[in-house]
Structure 1
Amino acid sequence: MTIRTIVTIVEETLRDGDRDVAPAARVAIVAAVLRNPWYGQGFVEDLAPGIAANASALGALLAPRVVDALGAPVEAYGKAAIVGLGGEVEHGSALIHTLTFGDHLRTLTGASSLLPAVEKRAPAAASFDIPLKHITDQTIRSHHQSVEVRLADAPAEDEIVIALAVASTGRPHARLAPFSTES
């Protein structure tokens, strides 16, 4: 695995809807820009060797960094794979849609729910939204949110951006009724 860059972003919302947010709502993102392990090989039928060589190592690298960057207990999480134009969406999906990738973050956070994802092909500087859901109960509406990310120089044609995002709370001032109240 060849990593060119690791980017860490921390966002704190202190005020929203004309009201203070206390404690601040924190979101952290850690993204690795790596060379696509399947780039230049044409159509690769069996992605398993590349998955085995990279997915767990990526999860082990990114999970502790994003949890540390948040600096608070994790309540929501999500992931992303943005593939440069010389690759396939399947290349990014192969790296993030494995237990060997996601279980690193689940273990660190005590999470049990599905780790929501976004994946797409895009040129460098494309924006993408990482969906976030509660770490143990996807029906908790307050934690359904997303965080926008854009890396000015990635992904290049032969790269993939793999990112994890975590949040310390749900949306600021969330006040929608629980799913269970709807008929």
Structure 2
Amino acid sequence: MPQPNFVGYHIRKWFTQTEDTLANETGVLADGDPVRKIVIAAAVHNPYAGRFSQDLGDIVADSPKLGEEFGRRALEAAGGLAIQSYGKACLVGTAGEYEHGNAFLTAVFADPVREAVGGGKAWVPSTGKRGGPGTVLDVPLAHKDALYVRSHYDTITVSFSDAPHPDEVVV
């Protein structure tokens, strides 16, 4: 296993993507601030790649610290704008199992993100899949305080040109 470089994890790479929408699909200008979508992701070594384990504690144990870092990075990318919605996703490298990605996305990871964005009363919608570098992933988004706010149902599509390696999970 590669040497840990962030709490108990080895993170090969962090990704930050921002997208600002100034007008809708027909060209009508935003009726307020532009809609900013932010993606924070990390290519993390999967300690269970290539093997089965009932216990995924090596992933879950330090995930609150990982969640804190995701929250910190999201606030930084927001540049002072209020965060209104959120989502989470994983892309598991081909030597891993889908459940390895889910282990990164548990409530113990998400709770520090909720705190960072100002509470987050609603559950964080999530998805994931297995694939290699360049795999397209649609991250579901929903209002952070009330799941059924239709104006905030959305997705953001992402891919990472060199991640995940077979023994990584992009979170």
Q: Under a length normalisation based on structure 2, what TM-score does the superposition of the two structures give?
A: 0.89
Identity of aligned residues (%): 34
Structure 1 or 2: more strand by fraction? 1
- Specify the SS of the correspondent of 1:129: strand
Q: Is the 8 A contact 2:68 2:116 kept in 1?
A: no
Which residue of 36, 44, 52 corresponds with 1:34? 44
Structure 2 CA distance, aligned partners of 1:47 and 1:23?
A: 42
- Partner amino acid, structure 1, of 2:76: D
Partner of 2:84: 75
Which residue of 9, 15, 32 corresponds with 1:7? 15
- Specify the SS of the correspondent of 1:91: helix
Of structures 1 and 2, the one scoring higher in RCO (CA 8 A, sep 6+) is 1
Which residue of 81, 89, 108 corresponds with 2:116? 108
RMSD (Å), alpha carbons? 1.1
Q: CA deviation at 1:20?
A: 0.9
Of 31-40 and 86-95, more deviation after overlay is shown by 31-40
Structure 2 CA distance, aligned partners of 1:20 and 1:51?
A: 43
Q: CA deviation at 1:57?
A: 2.2
- Partner amino acid, structure 1, of 2:70: L
Check 1:160–1:66 CA distance in 2 against 1; reply closer, same or farther (3 A cut). Answer: same
Cα displacement string for residues 28-58 of structure 1 (whole angstroms, at most 9, x for unaligned residues)? 1110001112123x21111124311x31121
Check 1:142–1:74 CA distance in 2 against 1; reply closer, same or farther (3 A cut). Answer: same
- Partner amino acid, structure 2, of 1:37: P
| Number of equivalent positions | 159
Structure 2 CA distance, aligned partners of 1:156 and 1:49?
A: 19
Structure 1 CA distance, aligned partners of 2:33 and 2:145?
A: 21
**Structure 1 residues 1-183: aligned runs within 5 Å:** 1-16=9-24, 17-21=26-30, 22-40=32-50, 42-52=51-61, 54-71=62-79, 72-97=81-106, 99-109=107-117, 110-162=119-171
Structure 2 CA distance, aligned partners of 1:48 and 1:7?
A: 25
Cα displacement string for residues 123-160 of structure 1 (whole angstroms, at most 9, x for unaligned residues)? 11101011000011111100000000110001110100
Structure 2 CA distance, aligned partners of 1:148 and 1:80?
A: 11
- Partner amino acid, structure 1, of 2:144: I
Q: Is the 8 A contact 2:47 2:58 kept in 1?
A: no
Cα displacement string for residues 72-100 of structure 1 (whole angstroms, at most 9, x for unaligned residues)? 10110001111000000000001112x22
Structure 1 CA distance, aligned partners of 2:109 and 2:149?
A: 24
Q: CA deviation at 1:108?
A: 1.5
Structure 2 CA distance, aligned partners of 1:49 and 1:4?
A: 17
Q: Mind listing any 5+ residue stretches in structure 2 that lack a counterpart?
A: 1-8
Q: Mind listing any 5+ residue stretches in structure 1 that lack a counterpart?
A: 163-183
